[in-house]
Amino acid sequence: MPPRLQALLAVVLWGVSFVATKAALREVSPVTLIFTRSALGTALLLATLAARRMPLVPPRVSWGPLALMGFVGVCFHQLLQAFGIRLTTAVHAGWIVGLIPIWSAVLAGLFLRERFGAGKVAGLVLGFAGAALVVSRGRATPDLLALPGARGDLLMLASTLNWAIYTTLGHATIRRLGSLRATAGAMFLGGLMLTPFFLHAGGWREYAALSGAGLAAVLYLGIGASGLGYLFWYGALERVETSRVAAFLYLEPLVTLIAAMALLHEPVGLATVAGGLMVLAGVALVQRAPARAAT
């Protein structure tokens, strides 16, 4: 499969995942959903490792970093998004997630001492202004604590920073183990951390109440978004420059918008669209600005 097609398919799978999450959470709890999603995704990734005759168990020295990746990038991250999306719309979630490249640029400036030129600064300001417009829904004086949707948006906003942190934390481990082994290990350990909560709540009892649509949404999230999405994405990264693959992420909020309107019939306000476009424009400015190394 051509690498650019793999990247496009990954972005489509991830874009629709917010819609599937919204649908699944109508029938199961966040803990049950994330545990099941992680288990299905891990099974697919481990099966892929076995098919490629790659070691299933990572080196012992990597267990600590993988556990940290599993907590930050799987357990905590997906719970943030699950609780957040229960309170907001899939459309808002998709737009806000577009901030991840901007957070990555901020972290690069803080920890890698990359200096920001005027273009990057303008992109950062524009991106955060767009996120503020989405969260406030265009209200001049929003009471964020009184708006369930705004609280959900703030949780989604926190998840974007968390994902950028996860990417930074996992960089060395992914380079050492390879993306497939590192992702499989982190997903397995992240799901393992959720097991006590899943068992305590008797989450398996929720499966019997799933409708056909709910079951399809859960399977999509586990096999599609968490399994195939990662396989396609890292397959593209292995064959094409990172910057070219990352450009496909700009399409993810648009995929979410189309899917949410078509499948969930979510309304889309002018402030949401305007704020979302500002986020994308800010991300584009940050990505296109020339890098300036620290002196």
**Residue 35 — left, alpha, or beta (φ > 0 → left; ψ -120 to 50 → alpha)?**
alpha
CA distances from 183 to 8, 56, 80, 234, 251 (A): 19, 12, 19, 10, 23
Domain ranges, residue 117 = 3-288
| Rounded-to-integer distance, Cα 97 and Cα 100, Å | 6
DSSP 3-state of 94: helix
Tell me, yes or no, whether 280 lies in a domain: yes
Is residue 177 situated within a structural domain?
yes
In a domain, 190, yes or no: yes
CB 72 within 8 A of CB 162: yes
Q: For the stretch 251-286, what's the b/e string if a residue is b when 16 or more beta carbons lie within 10 angstroms of its beta carbon?
A: bbbbbbbbbbeebeebeeeeebeebbbbbbebbbbb
Whole-angstrom CA distances from 226 to 231, 232, 271 are 9, 11, 31
Domain total in the chain: 1
pLDDT for the residue numbered 31: 93
- 81 alpha carbon, distance to own chain's centre: 8
Mean pLDDT by 10 residues, the chain (295 residues): 85 90 93 94 93 91 92 90 86 77 71 68 76 65 54 85 80 82 91 94 93 94 90 76 65 82 80 78 71 49
> pTM for this one?
0.79
- C-alpha dihedral (13, 249, 259, 229), degrees to nearest 10: 10
Calpha distance 233→214 (Å, rounded)? 26
Residue 39 domain flag: yes
Which two structure tokens, joined as six digits, stand for 121? 């600064």
Q: In angstroms, what is the C-alpha Rg of the chain?
A: 19
In a domain, 295, yes or no: no
Q: Please enumerate in sequence order all residues whose Cβ is within 8 A of that of 144, keeping only pairs 6 or more positions apart, or say none.
A: 135, 136, 150, 151, 154
Sign of the alpha-carbon torsion through 48, 52, 53, 54: negative
pLDDT at site 295: 43
Listed residue (263, 244, 246, 267) closest to 255, CA to CA: 263
Q: In the numeric block, which tokens belong to residue 142? A: 């929003």
Residue 293 inside a domain? The answer is no
| Whole-angstrom distance, CA of residue 148 vs CA of residue 135 | 11
- End-to-end, the C-alpha distance of the chain in Å comes to 43
Domain assignment of residue 84, yes or no: yes
